């Protein structure tokens, strides 16, 4: 007679929960140790140089192999003499003009994405639901950008929070925190990220598109006297966008671990090497690079739930949905400005580019446009607040706070670049030379959320008191 064992459902449930807890704890511990180990190893310039020496030849080999089909196809033009050479040069000019025209049409908002260029994110998709436990998921709103849906979170403070300090109105803050202090909070998902639609082709992703997105966001929300808190590429986009806005739209800019449009001269070798590693890794793996590994390196103490939230937007989506991640990494200038502005415009360079296929060099077009815009952007922020070139003619302009985690392994050098390039009169009085958040890495809003929120609140309070006086 067979023996049947029937375990009480309660015991089974407890065992399942215990096993799940042990598994989660073990996974978190392993991931945390992995993050700390990678951060430690890559903290040495020699390690970064060694890894770059491995990845760069691999990336260059892949790049050269990508050039081969176009080279074989276009080599016939070389045999035709000067007329054939001119045709290759014209091919390069035509492609560059098309690329620049596309960027300008996105900046003006006249561009419309084609069906095969966009993956529309549906509200019932897995990537949408993965982070349903977050307190902001039911507060998602959207607006249209070039035929795609860009989404943002708008959180409103509870009435009790407003009563705490007796204020009936607070300045809107573009940052996912500070609700308890009574501020309205807005947080944007750029196209290609978060819950916004995903762009599937790198060639239609431009910095100009993101600038237009931010401009459109302020048009839709009709915000005035806003504080913008911007991190990483978000800060670069904000620095490029605010000069295009009416002066009264954004009057405070909180820059957190961010940068001007990058120049090679901005960073020391130590940080340029890590950028090359990131450049080569994204180019080699092309969408297969796990976001969790990157975030663990940048912030080893991220929890499993936080890592899941970062990776959730790409769940069940095609690999090409990560095109924006690669585009950002390849938008950082990889060549000196002399090459981008002068050498690229010689007939010999254009001939070689036409021979090997101009589309294969499109990232240089993006880098050249960003570098050209850089001069104007630094010129704007390098002048006194009363002389800015915004749409308005009155007002004292935009005040700036620069805050960095002192353990940032990626862009720590940019704190000095920002503070010496921004006109002193624009800098907030309590941090004239910027401020370090001690012990924080590249993601202070994760590891030091309370401290970051407190600094923004201080920024908002000082600005409000200054306006009253």
Q: CA-CA distance, 238 to 232, in Å (whole number)?
A: 10
* Predicted local confidence at residue 469, as pLDDT: 39
Residue-by-residue DSSP string for 24-47: HHHHHHHHHHHHHHHHHHTTSHHH
Q: Residue 96 falls within a domain, yes or no?
A: no
In 269-424 the beta strands, taken as DSSP E runs, fall at 399-405
Question: Per-residue pLDDT tens for 79-92?
Answer: 888 999 999 999 99
- Domain membership flag for residue 433: yes
pLDDT band at 136 (very low <50, low <70, confident <90, very high): low
Domain hosting residue 239, numbered range: 103-263+312-468
Cβ-based neighbours of 244, under 8 Å, separated by 6 or more: 211, 215, 390, 391
The answer as to whether 10 is a domain residue is no
The pLDDT value given to residue 468: 37
Q: Is the pLDDT of residue 167 over 60?
A: no
> Could you tell me what percentage of the chain is helix, strand and coil, using 3-state DSSP and rounding each to the nearest 5?
60, 10, 30
What pLDDT is stored for residue 368 in this prediction? 95
Beta strands in 345-466 (DSSP E): 399-405, 435-437
* Statement: residue 467 has pLDDT above 50: no
Asked if 398 contacts 253 with a C-beta cutoff of 8 angstroms, the reply is yes
Could you give the number of structural domains in the chain? 1
Residue 131 lies in a domain: yes
CATH of the domain at 402: 3.40.50.1820
Closest residue by Cα to residue 462 from 251, 278, 279: 251
Whether residue 71 lies inside any domain: the answer is no
Looking at residue 125, its pLDDT comes to 72
Out of 154-163, 267-276, 460-469, least confident range: 460-469
Whether residue 189 lies inside any domain: the answer is: yes
Work out the percent of the chain whose per-residue pLDDT is above 70. 84
**Residue 308 predicted with pLDDT over 60:** yes
- Is the residue at 11 inside a domain? no
Contacts 24+ apart (CB under 8 A), 104-112: 104/208, 106/146, 106/204, 106/206, 106/208, 106/209, 106/212, 107/206, 107/208, 107/209, 107/211, 107/212, 108/212, 109/145, 109/146, 109/212, 109/216, 111/146, 111/147, 111/209, 112/146, 112/147
- Residue 426: DSSP 8-state: G
What pLDDT shows up at residue 38?
Answer: 80
pLDDT (0 to 100) of residue 293? 76
Q: Assess if residue 87 is contained within a domain.
A: no
Structure-block tokens of residue 156:
């409103």
> Average pLDDT in the 418-431 region?
94
pLDDT at site 395: 38
Q: Which pLDDT score, from 0 to 100, does residue 5 have?
A: 44
| 199: pLDDT strictly greater than 90 | yes
Which of the four pLDDT bands, split at 50, 70 and 90, describes residue 319? confident
User: Where are the strands (E) in 250-373, listed by range?
Assistant: 250-258
* pLDDT given for residue 343 in this prediction: 96
């Amino acid at each position: 007679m067979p023996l049947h064992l029937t375990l009480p459902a309660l015991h089974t449930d407890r065992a399942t929960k215990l096993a799940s807890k042990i598994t989660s704890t073990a996974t978190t511990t392993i991931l945390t140790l992995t993050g700390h180990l990678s951060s430690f190893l890559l903290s040495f310039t020699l390690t970064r140089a060694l890894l770059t020496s491995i990845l760069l030849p691999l990336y260059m080999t892949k790049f050269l192999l990508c050039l081969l089909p176009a080279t074989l196809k276009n080599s016939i033009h070389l045999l035709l003499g000067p007329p054939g050479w001119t045709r290759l040069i014209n091919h390069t000019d035509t492609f560059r003009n098309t690329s620049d025209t596309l960027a300008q049409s996105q900046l003006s908002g006249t561009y419309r994405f084609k069906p095969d260029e966009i993956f529309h994110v549906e509200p019932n998709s897995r990537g949408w639901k993965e982070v349903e436990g977050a307190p902001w998921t039911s507060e998602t709103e959207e607006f249209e950008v070039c035929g795609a849906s860009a989404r943002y979170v708008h959180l409103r403070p509870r009435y009790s929070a407003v009563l705490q300090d007796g204020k009936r109105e607070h300045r809107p803050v573009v940052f996912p925190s500070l609700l308890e202090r009574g501020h309205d909070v807005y947080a944007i998902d750029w196209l290609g990220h978060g819950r916004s639609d995903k762009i599937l082709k790198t060639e239609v992703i431009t910095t100009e598109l993101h600038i237009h997105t931010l401009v459109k966001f302020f048009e839709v929300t009709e915000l005035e006297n806003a504080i913008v808190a911007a991190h990483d590429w978000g800060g670069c986009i904000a620095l490029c966008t605010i000069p295009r806005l009416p002066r009264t739209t954004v009057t405070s800019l909180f820059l957190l671990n961010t940068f001007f449009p990058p120049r090679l001269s901005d960073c020391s070798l130590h940080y340029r090497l890590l950028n090359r590693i990131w450049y080569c890794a994204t180019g080699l793996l092309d969408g297969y690079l796990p976001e969790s590994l990157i975030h663990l390196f940048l912030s080893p103490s991220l929890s499993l739930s936080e890592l899941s939230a970062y990776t959730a937007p790409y769940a069940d989506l095609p690999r090409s949905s990560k095109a924006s991640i690669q585009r950002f990494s390849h938008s950082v200038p990889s060549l000196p400005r002399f090459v981008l502005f002068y050498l690229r415009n010689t007939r010999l360079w254009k001939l070689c580019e036409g021979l090997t296929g101009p589309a294969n060099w499109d990232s240089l077009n993006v880098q050249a446009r960003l570098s050209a815009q850089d001069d104007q952007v630094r010129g704007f922020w390098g002048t006194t607040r009363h002389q800015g070139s915004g749409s308005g003619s009155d007002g004292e302009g935009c005040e700036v706070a620069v805050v960095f985690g002192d353990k940032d392994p990626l862009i720590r050098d940019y704190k000095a670049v920002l503070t010496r390039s921004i006109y002193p009169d624009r800098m907030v009085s309590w941090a004239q030379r910027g401020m370090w958040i001690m012990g924080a890495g590249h993601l202070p809003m994760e590891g030091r959320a309370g401290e970051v929120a407190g600094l923004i609140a201080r920024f908002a309070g000082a600005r409000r008191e200054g306006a009253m006086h």
